Structure 1
Amino acid sequence: MSSVSDFENVVVSICPNLFSEYGDLPRIAESRKIYQSTPYPADRAILIHNESSHLYCFPLNIWFCCLQPASQGGATPIVDCRKAYRLINKKLQARLIEKKIMYVRNFIQGLDVSWQTFFQTTDKSMVEDYCRRADIDFEWGKQNNLTTRQVRPAIAIHPITNEPVVFNQIQLYHMAYLESEIKESLLSIFGEDRFPRNVYYGDGTPIEDSVLEEINQAYRESQTSFPWEKGDILMLDNMLAAHGRSPYVGKRQIRVAMGEMRYSKDILPSAV
């Protein structure tokens, strides 16, 4: 696989209706349906997550294509979300199912992705309409900033296999996973209430450090790693497999496509 168009042709043959409205990833100029990988510093890992699990609508399938592997590092860690669920103790399983989790995001001008980019509009009324449809609480602040709060599952039921899985972005959102120097700097500037991203239980109470560590341990014990070679295509079921990115050296080009869109309300477990 040597080009974006080749990759898109392969994926479209599997999934004709690719998702083309995701605001967190930059699109490739040649296609509205193919994205660049997350723009994140090469020397830092992207932590484990299920793509778009913090949104009301998410892809069941996600494809990655390697146009150029890194000269060193850059593998994709993959977590078996069924195994990770089984490794979490039953009391915590029940708590996560009952409480769910709340993602809080402060869109601050000049920091991270702007709300205009994420929602793909400069019209505040369109943002508000989207938030109401997606069951997102929103609040406009000073200097054209925006705060959103959305309760989503931490544990989910796969719509095809009916298996319980860990399904969230706790590692990407929780401030505990930031380097201490960066975390302290952001806290000193914004405070916890206006921290760019954070995650709580669904009722707004803090997630305990012991819970974070148990989830981390389950991920570690359920993880493998995919080393990239040029032309590779990797397809993941986004609920059965969470993914991340290892640090790397050199130029790395990974392209992303998403499809088979589902809604978070349809995957909520009713009981352990």
Structure 2
Amino acid sequence: MQKYPTATTGRNKMAPGKFFRTVELPEQKPDGDGGLFPAVLSPIALNTDVASELTLSDFEEAIKAHKPWLESLLQKRGAILFRGFPVNTTSDFNDVVEAFGFPEAFYVGGRAPRTQVFGRVYTTNEAPPDKTIPFHHEMAYVPDYPSKLFFFCEVEPGAGGETPIVLSHIIYDKMKEKHPEFVAKLEEHGLIYTKIMTDDNQQHSFTGSGWKSAYMTDDKKVAEERAAKQGTKLEWMGDSVKTITVMPGVRIDKGSQRKTWFNSLANSYGGPANPELYDENRSIEFGNGEPLSDAAMADCLRILEEECVAVPWKKGDVMLVNNLMVLHSRRPLLKPPRRVLVSLCK
């Protein structure tokens, strides 16, 4: 006999509180609006001794029945961590993504080496796992960016390898308070992202996608057409290409009407405040051609770390992120193995 309440009983939908319970974790932080960031949900069992009897179908049914409530929670909190649900395989994760019903966002123009695993599920950044990936909004350097991200922990890390997240409007507010001139230039001029891509992937780099992989073609003309749709200019250099894109550095989250730090400054800047990221094949500057302030970038990197939340992954975790509201990063893996997968949605 099923020990969990189903999401629907006859024609009457059960309240979310009959299936999902809110959990508090020590890593969470106040979101400034009376809640904790991120939201953490676990299943409710009628008998707590039989939690293992919850099925994937139960979870999918609850998602479909309570999607408006879950979307509202996502808009309020920026991210939801689902913990303790029976999501064990890549196929399970794909089914969870499908249950939400969001359209798929394709990784055209993406800068990270990434491989399709199953259905709508892809590897996360394939750069060496002992390397840090700085904070960013996914694909902030193109106009057709995903609005939602799903992460799934298939193999729990031995140590390290967290995916820190941070509320973007907090970064904007703190940077505007400390560096108003820098933020004014960012809002007025936007940013110029420049990168030289080879024809094959450079697996040692977290922005090492080759142009064939990024534009999903080995035809230069097709690559140019796809890049143009992303607002990117290509300048060919033999088998390599220089990509040049001008994009806003700040956007407005329509749901909250807040300005967000929607950019890839932290993972594109390789100046004195972040010399380990220096790469002669990659640069970023204000849209009017002015260089970035090293002092402002030093404070930006510090604020991102101070304000972020890094919940250690557990096997089966699914994290849903509002890409407009939240930046994410990756900490170095200290003790292998680790396998975290991703699905991008509109």
- 8 Å contact 2:94–2:118 — kept in the other structure? no
Residue aligning to 2:298:
213
User: Is the contact made by 2:197 and 2:210 (CA closer than 8 Å) also made in structure 1?
Assistant: yes
Of 87, 94, 102, the match for 2:192: 102
Structure 1 residue identity aligned to 2:237 = G
Q: CA deviation at 1:210?
A: 1.2
Is 1:160 equivalent to 2:245 in the alignment?
no
2:212 counterpart SS class: helix
Amino acid at match of 2:253: H
The aligned residue for residue 123 of structure 2 is 36
SS in 2 for 1:243: strand
Question: Could you tell me how far apart the structure 2 residues matched to 1:132 and 1:26 are?
Answer: 22
Give the aligned partner of residue 224 of structure 1. 309
**Alignment root-mean-square deviation, CA:** 1.7
Q: Give runs of aligned pairs for residues 67-216 of structure 1, distance below 5 A.
A: 67-88=154-175, 89=177, 90-109=180-199, 111=202, 112-142=208-238, 144-176=239-271, 177-179=274-276, 183=278, 195-216=280-301
Please tell me the residue identity of whatever aligns with 1:221. E
Cα distance in structure 2, aligned partners of 1:95 and 1:228: 38
**SS of the residue 2:148 aligns to:** strand
- The secondary structure found in structure 1 opposite 2:172 is helix
Deviation at 1:228, TM superposition (A): 0.3
Q: Which residue of 2 aligns with 1:192?
A: none
Q: Larger radius of gyration, structure 1 or 2?
A: 2
Name 1:270's counterpart in structure 2: none
Residue type at the aligned position of 2:327: A
Partner of 1:26: 114
1:3 paired to 2:98: no
- Please report how far the alpha carbon of residue 220 of structure 1 lies from its aligned counterpart in structure 2 after TM superposition: 2.6
Q: CA deviation at 1:60?
A: 1.1
- How far is 1:175 from its partner? 2.2
Deviation track 1:230-262 (CA, whole Å, cap 9, x = no partner) reads 0000111112110101111211111101112xx
SS at match of 1:76: coil
What is the distance in 1 between the residues matched to 2:107 and 2:129? 25
Q: State the alpha-carbon separation in 1 of the partners of residues 194 and 261 from structure 2.
A: 19
Match of 1:258?
344
Distance 1:50 1:84, change over 3 A: same
Question: SS where residue 266 of structure 2 aligns?
Answer: helix
* CA deviations over 1:211-231 (Å, ceiling 9, x no partner): 211211331332111210000
> 1:110-169: per-residue Cα shift (whole Å, max 9, x none)?
543211111000111111112222221221113x11001101111110122211011111
Letter of the 1:255 partner, please give it: L
Contact 1:69 1:252 in 2 (8 A): yes
Normalised by the length of structure 2, the TM-score is 0.67
Alpha carbons 1:200, 1:207 under 8 Å: kept: yes
Distance 2:102 2:231 in 1: 28
| Gap runs ≥5 in structure 2 | 1-86, 203-207
Paired residues of 1:107 and 1:145 also in contact (CA < 8 A): yes
Cα offset, 1:25, TM superposition: 4.3
| Structure 2 SS opposite 1:54 | coil
Instruction: Find the residue that maps to 1:226 and give its secondary structure.
Output: coil
* 155-164 vs 13-22, greater mean Cα deviation: 13-22
What residue number does 1:13 align with? 99
Larger deviation, residues 11-20 vs 48-57: 11-20
Q: CA deviation at 1:34?
A: 1.1
1:56 paired residue among 125, 130, 143 = 143
| Distance of 2:275 and 2:89 partners within structure 1 | 35
What is the letter of the counterpart of residue 105 of structure 1? K
Q: Which amino acid aligns with 2:219?
A: D
Identity of aligned residues (%): 23
The question of whether the paired residues in 2 share the 8 Å contact of 1:81 and 1:222 is answered with no
> Does the 8 Å contact 1:25/1:35 carry over to 2?
no
| Shift of residue 75, structure 1, vs aligned partner | 1.1
TM-score by length of 1: 0.85
Q: Does 1:65 align with 2:152?
A: yes
